Amino acid sequence: MDSNFWHQLWESNEIGFHQRAVNPLLAEYINTLSLAEGDRLFLPLCGKTLDIAWLLSKGYRVAGAELNKPAVEQLFSELGVEPRISTLGNLDCYSAENIDIFVGDIFELSSEILGGVDAIYDRAALVALPDQMRKKYRAHLLEITRIAPQLLLTFEYDQTVMEGPPFSISPDDIKQYYSDKYSLSLLKKIDVPGGLKGKCEASETIWLLSAI
């Protein structure tokens, strides 16, 4: 992962990937994970997404991993809570009631440090990584979460028109990455209003991945 690339985007406030509202696909399909109040969701490469506040408001606990420390500081500021900060290995952990965000390289996050999770909500991680890194990420994610069920959001578009991130990921790609461990269900596919970054037509998809 090119950490400098992501740090520069946050520093220059080029965060078009940061949505200014709760993702409607999350709100529509969270129930497909069959979670109970108090269950813990893991959000890889979470940034300061408003989805976190929404999940907390629904009674879930949240764990996240994020490379950029200012993004995490902004997240807690916007939540209106003062985090407890501890160091765990090569990561800093920002914690408050029902929330733990691990700051640093996600590949430094172990299952022991993360702790148990009941589900994964991957809105921003798989689509952020180039193809050569996705298999490494996939293997690491399954290891640290013990193959927890996932809601996975992806984009599909003509990558000759625009380079990622976010990268275009096809259904065949998802089958390649996950079909050996999960049953895959395409829940919905919608057009991205105005196109992706206003540059090209694109669709957004949401998948339910259930452990086999």
Residue recorded with tokens 């798989």: 126
Alpha-carbon Rg for the chain in angstroms: 16
Binding residues: 10, 45, 66, 123
Instruction: Please answer whether residues 35 and 117 qualify as being in contact, where contact means their C-beta atoms are separated by less than 8 angstroms.
Output: no
**CA-to-CA dists, residue 118 to 42, 44, 200, angstroms:** 8, 14, 36
Binding residues for S-adenosyl-L-methionine: 10, 45, 66, 123
**What span, in angstroms and rounded, lies between the C-alpha atoms of 52 and 124?**
13
Tokens found for residue 31: 């129930």
**What span, in angstroms and rounded, lies between the C-alpha atoms of 13 and 61?**
28
